[in-house]
Structure 1
Amino acid sequence: MKKVAILATGGTISSAADSRTELINYKSGTFTGDEIINQIPELREIADVHIEQTTNFSSMEMTAKEWTILREKALHYLNELDFDGVVITHGTNTIEETAYFLHLTCNVSKPIVIVGSQRPLTGLSSDAHLNVYNAVKLAASEDAVGKGVLVMMNDEINSAREVTKTNTVRLETFQSGQLGFLGYVDNDGVFFYRQPTRIHTAQSQFNELDTQELDPVEIVYSYAGADGNLIRCLIPTGVKGIVIAGTGTGRFSSKELEALVEAKKQGIAVVRSSRVGNGRVIPEEQYEPYGFVSGDNLLPQKARILLMLALKVTKDPVEIQRIFDTY
């Protein structure tokens, strides 16, 4: 029987509400990983599971410190203790960010699956139990080897690079935009229909990187008539990178451009991203003189993570652009 480690971090999947019909107002971190797993005895039929509690709070509190701890623990189980897979229970609000960080930094080909729930563990028709069951099933599957970090929700398998939360409360919230799911977990097995093509995990140049301290990178959301003052406020704070969530193909107002040029002159890396949600941000001639990096189709929150890691190895915008073109 395959050995799967479950690392519990909190979130809705660990929460309780005052009644079974209360699905919004609940307290995160009420249940431990052991208490969650004990409610799913069927897990013992598909894997030999070991549970470790790492944190037990809202995923909004996740920082590079917690990401690094999860990375180290996952690699300990997979590489040192020779477990076959790792499942991480996580709050859904930032599950995609933790997943992408691990996707870029874990030196392993074995499955790492991140799972959460939209409804509290105590909720009527909670999705927590089946999501965890399917996540363990996926982590124990030979077909998941080499696919990078996966997010398992609502029977659907998503790649860490593309997945994002698209609805505040509905169960089908996690989507991978126009690129689609990697596959499904059904009662008769695990089924993949495509696989990630961008570099990740064991092939990543970041998989031996010290990630205890990463340079601060902020995201600025563009909008009609933006005056650039938010960008100027960031310049003296010590920020090392700015991701601009631009309109359309990563564009922004003329005043924002002036502020971004000021930031660039102060040595702050600038990445053009888009607030649209789908499509590539393509290099444009009008921005070439400024040394801005084009974020391809990464969402702003994913571009922030990649830029933080890139700044650990280079400050050269040409090399940073190569990294964004590769990952």
Structure 2
Amino acid sequence: MKTIAIVATGGTIAGTGKQGKTVAYRAGEMNVDEIIQSIPMIQDIANIKEYQLMNIDSNEMNPQRWIELSRIINEIVQDEHIDGVVVTHGTDTLDETAYFLTLTIHSAKPVVMTGAMRPATATSADGPYNLYQAVCLATHEEAHHQGVMGLFSNTIYSGRDIQKVNNYKIDAFDQKAFGCLGYMQDHEVYFFSKTFKTHTLNSLFSKSSYHDLPSVGIVYFYAGASCQLLYDMAKNHHGIILTGSGSGNYSEEWLSAINDLSSQGIIFVRCSRVAQGIVFDDDIFDPHHYCISGNTLTPQKARVLLMLALTQTTKREEIRKIFNEY
């Protein structure tokens, strides 16, 4: 039987509240061993090693904790007796952590992230079943070389593209128009596609160790938004993610400010506030090509990639190549 490490970080899956209720709970209250005890059939699937790394609401996740989590997983996967890793995590920022791990884990072993939309004390809590299936997925031979994955509600997602699309239903995740990697039925795994973007072993960023990350902010454009937002953000950040309207668009006032700040060395990435779509280079909204296109990345994931890219280079054209590859 294979051995799977479960690295717990907290979240709703470890949350507790009024018995039976799904609201008004506190995340990160239970230890991982308590959750595992509620899933007796998990012992028939794998030998489990538990790592209670932290126990927090995922809104308390930050770059320093990403670095710590990545470092621990990279240490765990070096153990020849460990066949895969499952990470329990709150759903609110799981997409950001998943992408950071996708870029920084240096292993072909399965790494699966999961969590819950209902606390452990709710009637029909979804966490135990998600965790059970995540362990099953981590033991599967076809899960190797797939990069970091997310597992929710019988569905397998790539760590690059997973995103939370609903804050109410237990089937709360999707990955835009590209489709998921596959599905599960109880313990059975069915892969139908794979991600072709660079990840894990082949990632430039998985070959480095980190103590901190360059500061990158996100600015949201809306009708009438002042360009002062950009100037204020630039005071304390090396790069700025533009969450534009439509295809990553903004006003002429913003364009003028972007041109000015770009000449001062600020790196800009254009993304969109629209849930579906792609942001390409644009000769109208970015005539001098000062901005880097975020492609299919959400603003928060573009921030993750830009922070890591800035650890390697500050040259705009080199960062543009990184965004096209990852």
- Supply the distance in 2 between the matched residues of 1:63 and 1:253 (Cα, whole angstroms): 31
Matches within 5 A, 1:112-261: 112-187=111-186, 189-237=188-236, 239-261=237-259
Superposition RMSD in Å:
1.1
Superposed displacement of residue 223, structure 1: 1.1
Contact 2:283 2:289 in 1 (8 A): no
Determine the structure 2 residue equivalent to 1:262: 260
Determine the structure 2 residue equivalent to 1:95: 94
Amino acid at match of 1:168: N
- Supply the distance in 2 between the matched residues of 1:198 and 1:295 (Cα, whole angstroms): 14
SS at match of 2:75: helix
Superposed displacement of residue 258, structure 1: 2.1
- Supply the distance in 2 between the matched residues of 1:245 and 1:256 (Cα, whole angstroms): 12
Matches within 5 A, 1:36-115: 36-115=35-114
Instruction: Report Cα offsets for 1:186-236 as digits up to 9, x if no partner.
Output: 125100000001110000111122322110000111111212121111122
Amino acid at match of 1:5: A
Determine the structure 1 residue equivalent to 2:281: 283
Superposed displacement of residue 177, structure 1: 1.2
The alignment covers a number of residue pairs equal to 325
Amino acid at match of 1:16: T
- Supply the distance in 2 between the matched residues of 1:6 and 1:39 (Cα, whole angstroms): 15
SS at match of 1:198: coil
Determine the structure 2 residue equivalent to 1:15: 15
Gaps of 5+ in 2: none
- Supply the distance in 2 between the matched residues of 1:62 and 1:81 (Cα, whole angstroms): 29
SS at match of 1:18: coil
TM-score, scaled relative to structure 1: 0.97
CA 1:188 to 1:120, structure 2 compared with 1: closer, same or farther past 3 Å?
closer
Contact 1:244 1:270 in 2 (8 A): yes
Contact 1:64 1:211 in 2 (8 A): no
- Supply the distance in 2 between the matched residues of 1:318 and 1:29 (Cα, whole angstroms): 42
Percent sequence identity over aligned pairs: 39
- Supply the distance in 2 between the matched residues of 1:295 and 1:30 (Cα, whole angstroms): 37
- Supply the distance in 2 between the matched residues of 1:291 and 1:230 (Cα, whole angstroms): 18
Gaps of 5+ in 1: none
The answer to whether structure 1 residue 313 and structure 2 residue 319 are counterparts is no
SS at match of 1:185: strand
Amino acid at match of 2:26: K
Instruction: Report Cα offsets for 1:11-46 as digits up to 9, x if no partner.
Output: 1000111121x2121011210011111111111100
Contact 2:259 2:290 in 1 (8 A): no
Q: Choose 288-297 or 110-119, whichever is displaced more.
A: 288-297
- Supply the distance in 2 between the matched residues of 1:258 and 1:125 (Cα, whole angstroms): 53
Superposed displacement of residue 288, structure 1: 4.2
- Supply the distance in 2 between the matched residues of 1:296 and 1:149 (Cα, whole angstroms): 20
Superposed displacement of residue 302, structure 1: 0.5
Contact 2:136 2:187 in 1 (8 A): no
Contact 2:10 2:54 in 1 (8 A): yes
The answer to whether structure 1 residue 325 and structure 2 residue 302 are counterparts is no
Superposed displacement of residue 69, structure 1: 1.4
Q: Choose 24-33 or 190-199, whichever is displaced more.
A: 24-33
SS at match of 1:211: coil
Instruction: Report Cα offsets for 1:268-315 as digits up to 9, x if no partner.
Output: 100001111222111112314152111111110110000000001111
Contact 1:227 1:256 in 2 (8 A): yes
Q: Choose 180-189 or 301-310, whichever is displaced more.
A: 180-189
